[in-house]
Amino acid sequence: MNPIGSCYCPISFPSNVEPITLVNFSNINNATSATLNGTPALENFTAMVGNVAQTQSYTMTVKGNTDGNFTTYVDVYIDWNQNGILTDPGEAYFIGTIVNSTGLDAKQATATIVIPGTALTGNTRMRVTKKFGASALPCNNTGYGQAEDYTLNIQCAAGTISAQPSNISICNGGNGSISVTATGSFITYQWQLSTDNGTTYNNITDGATYTGTTTNTLIINGATGSFNGYRYRVVLNGPCTSNTISGIATLSISTPPSITSQPINASACAS
């Protein structure tokens, strides 16, 4: 693993420096000169730190001077595994194109970047590139354009529940499931059961009656009438999550209709 201060590959645009004029991402909002050849081919803004969290989404916005009615391509490279290389799979993002812009107008390239749940926490490098006619590789050495380097501080994300478990009704002897939707860094699930109207909850383990007890979906098999009124919840844990408890799902057992009185023969006298 390379620290953020380690050397990343150089990048150059020998034909002309056509500058990036704005990078907006997370808490980075950096406006720079629109003058052609007025700044280096690679600008070092690594003192600027953008704070992001694993699994979360952020909008990347870039502006730039195209030196006339030309199309430039904007790309971003982020060293998620902190190995000092910007060419690993999953580290490149095409943001879009900018056409015929002074760099000071409203034209911009915009895309959403999702921070991988597997991204290493701590500081790492982000390189933003803009190139005429084609995307620039992170170590580009041809053509017209510019690159800017920044630091991202990757933090683990606390587990959050976006869809709570819902009440469920199962026919006597039938099967069903209860689910929760959550996001967070390396979160774990543990379903719990209360048989005393919510006074106490105990962890459930996989077996004949329950499966998926440590996933986001609990499967209930062969529920009988004695399960009626059982209450279920799930507990989330993880590096940045400590005992986040979901809402309650209550199980109702439905009894199929049964015939309690059979029809009997009848006779009628003729009038």
pLDDT computed for residue 184 by the predictor: 85
51 to 35, 48, 210: CA distances (angstroms):
29, 10, 41
Rounded distance between C-alpha atoms, residue 79 and residue 88, angstroms: 8
- The closest alpha carbon to 74, from 65, 82, 83, belongs to 65
pLDDT computed for residue 268 by the predictor: 65
One digit per residue, pLDDT tens: the chain, 271 residues?
444 445 899 999 999 999 999 999 999 999 999 999 999 999 999 999 999 999 899 999 999 999 999 999 999 999 999 999 999 999 999 999 999 999 999 999 999 999 998 999 999 999 999 999 999 999 999 999 999 999 999 999 888 999 999 999 999 999 999 999 998 888 999 999 999 999 999 999 999 999 999 999 999 999 999 999 999 999 999 888 899 999 999 999 997 676 777 787 766 676 5
pLDDT computed for residue 30 by the predictor: 98
pLDDT computed for residue 36 by the predictor: 97
Question: Which residues touch 101 (CB under 8 Å, ≥6 apart)?
Answer: 63, 64, 65, 66, 107
List beta partners, residue 28: 25
Q: How long a stretch of residues is the chain?
A: 271
For the chain, count helices (H), then strands (E). 0, 21
- The closest alpha carbon to 145, from 25, 8, 37, 22, belongs to 37
CA quadruple 162, 178, 246, 185: dihedral positive or negative? negative
- Phi–psi pair at 225, nearest 5 degrees: -60, -25
- The closest alpha carbon to 112, from 54, 47, 164, 60, belongs to 60
Rounded distance between C-alpha atoms, residue 48 and residue 150, angstroms: 6
pLDDT computed for residue 158 by the predictor: 86
Q: Are 172 and 253 in contact (CB under 8 A)?
A: yes
Written as six digits, the tokens of 165 are 């478990």
pLDDT computed for residue 2 by the predictor: 44
Rounded distance between C-alpha atoms, residue 57 and residue 148, angstroms: 21
Written as six digits, the tokens of 188 are 């774990």
Written as six digits, the tokens of 261 are 């009185």
135 to 97, 210, 222, 252: CA distances (angstroms):
9, 52, 57, 58
pLDDT computed for residue 271 by the predictor: 57
Written as six digits, the tokens of 126 are 């982000």
Residue 227, classed as helix, strand or coil, is helix
Written as six digits, the tokens of 59 are 């909008």
76 to 13, 108, 122, 142, 146: CA distances (angstroms):
16, 14, 19, 17, 12
**What predicted TM-score, i.e. pTM, was given to this entire model?**
0.72
